[in-house]
Structures are given as structure tokens and as C-alpha cells.
Amino acid sequence: MPIGDAMSGAMKRTLYTIVPALLFFQQANALELKSCEEANVGLTALIPPVGKNSRTYKDDKVGVYVIDMVEPVCCAAGVAVVLPDVSDETGNNQCLAVIGVASVQLDEATSEDDPAKGLLLTIPTRVFNEAADSAPGAPLRLRINTDKGSVALE
């Protein structure tokens, strides 16, 4: 007897509920902060018009840009953060990226500045969902510390 025939209706419903949730959490946990170079993020990944898909913080020292790597469609979007590179004596910037969601809503982002920890950006996201193309995802939470030149996922 095939396994599907042996499962009760309740078991099937439970599996249909659990499996998408596990895939969502697996995708949410897959977010990783990388240098823009490691993530292959260049100017072509910015979503035009850039002015409507970017924000600046900390007296324009920090730029946050919506990016889309196009493929894979499930999780090619994210943000690139450009901030001063405190280890560079010439004063250059560094670029860090987080990719792994279907889309981000930077225009709905909230920010909290803690002088000791740095700026916390909370950016709503959407994740891939076959039934509706996308569904609300866990917010992307980035801690940006310009004094240390660091960005961290929270």
C-alpha cells in the first residue's frame, strides 16, 4: 500500500501545514550578510528608480539600497548597505548585502538609533509563496554601527 493511502486526512492536513512553514523558516534562516563583491551585487542589481528604492541614515553616511538579483525568483531580493570603511585610511566606503527574500519594502522601514549599539533598521519583507507569488515574511533587522563600520543581522 502506498504511503499516501495509509495516511489519515488529519495527518495529510498537518503535513500540508508544517512543510510550507518549515520551508519558510529554512529560507528565513538562510539570510546571510556578505560583502557586495561576494554576493555579486553591483550597480545593475539596484532597482530603478534608485531614488525611490533607497534611503540614507546617519547624516547621509549610510546608504541602504533595494537590490534584486533576478534569479532565483523565490529569494533574489534584499538590500545593500554602503557605509564608511573605518579600516580604510583613505576614507573609502564598504558595501555589504543581504539577499534571500522575494522583496523588501524599504519605504516601510523603521529605524531606532541607540548611541551604544548603533542604528537598528527593521525592513518588512515578502517571501515566495506558490499560491500567491509572495506572502509577508519576517522583517529584515539590520544593526548598523558607523563608529565600528559594522553591519549585523539581528
Residues 85 and 143 in one domain: yes
pLDDT tens per residue, range 38-97: 999 998 889 888 989 999 999 999 999 999 998 887 889 999 999 999 999 998 999 999
Residues 21 and 81 in one domain: no
Instruction: Identify the pLDDT of residue 15.
Output: 34
pTM for this structure?
A: 0.77
Residues 82 and 130 in one domain: yes
Q: Judge whether residue 2 has pLDDT over 90.
A: no
Q: Judge whether residue 20 has pLDDT over 90.
A: no
Domain that holds residue 1: 1-30
Q: Are strands 32-35 and 54-57 parallel, antiparallel or unpaired?
A: unpaired
Residues 4 and 74 in one domain: no
Q: What is the distance between the alpha carbons of residues 62 and 42, in angstroms, rounded to a whole number? A: 17
Residues 13 and 69 in one domain: no
Residues 26 and 37 in one domain: no
Q: Judge whether residue 137 has pLDDT over 70.
A: yes
Number of domains in the chain: 2
Residues 20 and 62 in one domain: no
Residues 75 and 135 in one domain: yes
Residue scoring higher pLDDT (58 or 15):
58
Instruction: Identify the pLDDT of residue 64.
Output: 97
Query: In the chain, pLDDT over 90 holds for what percent of residues?
Result: 61
Query: In the chain, pLDDT over 70 holds for what percent of residues?
Result: 81
Q: What is the distance between the alpha carbons of residues 42 and 83, in angstroms, rounded to a whole number? A: 15
Average pLDDT, the chain: 82
Quick one: how far is CA 138 from the chain centroid?
9
Residues 78 and 110 in one domain: yes
Strand partners, 55: 64
Residues 67 and 107 in one domain: yes
Residues 78 and 118 in one domain: yes
Residues 12 and 40 in one domain: no
